[in-house]
């Protein structure tokens, strides 16, 4: 696949905020969405009112707005990551069990989660590294991975040691099997399809460089992407 077949949008890899803005733009208008703890919470800051996206947080709220700052902060109004948030007109609150019923019942169009690893076939590992001293923290991730219609992952593509988190097979305990449809990273956007891993676009890296660093076969956009 030639380098020209892949769109390189900027000269450098994306930072966390630019990546969150990209994810926000890709969420379809009218969607019901859950944003996971960590990087995904930043997506709420970049959703446009005209998108009419309704955000769900697993601690019991629909209609969550962007992060709260200054005088906006209400100590009783937080998301699942304990970050102060705002509420949008029509916001509603409910029991934790009802919140999980929304997640498990297939009512969410998209969830955006972080990850330790994602496999080429869409398996997700994001709750435990398997290390003896690690504290398992699955939260509602399994419910979201199973219940949401689409699972988007936001993560850095490489570990601090330079090892790809996009892998042929996850070595960490799984959160969900075959559930991830897209992976947003600071160096590329990947679409996980039945015929393989498609690279939609790259950031500050050529397709050839990316393919050499990621140990799974990659397919360029000329083969078709959404």
Helix-, strand-, coil-residue percentages of the chain, each rounded to 5: 25, 30, 45
DSSP secondary structure, 70-122, as one string: GGG--TT-B-TTS-BEEEEEEEEE--HHHHHHHHHTT--SEEEE--SEEETT-
* Residue 178 Cα distances to 69, 97, 182, angstroms: 38, 26, 11
Give the integer Cα–Cα distance in Å for 185 and 210.
12
Give the integer Cα–Cα distance in Å for 135 and 114.
16
Give the integer Cα–Cα distance in Å for 55 and 199.
28
Token pair, residue 223, equals 């083969």
Neighbours of 217 (CB within 10 A): 10
As annotated, the active-site residues are 58
Give the integer Cα–Cα distance in Å for 182 and 109.
13
Neighbours of 38 (CB within 10 A): 16
Residue 213: which of 224, 225, 226, 202 has the closest Cα?
Answer: 202
């Amino acid at each position: 696949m030639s380098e020209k077949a892949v769109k390189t949008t900027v000269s450098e890899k994306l930072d966390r905020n630019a990546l969150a803005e990209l994810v926000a733009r890709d969420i379809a208008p009218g969607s019901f969405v859950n944003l996971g703890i960590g990087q995904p919470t930043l997506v709420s800051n970049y959703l446009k009112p005209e998108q009419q996206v309704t955000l769900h947080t697993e601690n019991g709220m629909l209609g969550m707005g962007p992060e709260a700052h200054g005088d906006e902060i209400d100590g009783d109004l937080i998301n699942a990551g304990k970050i102060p948030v705002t509420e949008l007109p029509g916001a509603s609150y409910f029991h934790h069990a009802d919140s999980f019923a929304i997640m498990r019942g297939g009512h969410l169009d998209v969830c955006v989660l972080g990850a330790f690893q994602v496999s080429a076939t869409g398996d997700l590992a994001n709750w435990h590294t398997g290390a003896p001293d690690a504290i398992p923290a699955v939260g509602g991730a399994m419910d979201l991975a199973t219940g949401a219609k689409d699972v988007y992952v936001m993560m850095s593509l490489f570990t601090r040691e330079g090892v790809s988190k996009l892998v042929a097979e996850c070595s960490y305990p799984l959160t969900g099997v075959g559930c991830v449809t897209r992976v947003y990273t600071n160096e590329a956007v990947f679409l996980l399809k039945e015929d393989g891993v498609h690279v939609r676009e790259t950031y500050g890296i050529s397709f050839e460089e990316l393919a050499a660093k990621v140990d799974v076969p990659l397919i360029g956009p000329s083969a078709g992407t959404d």
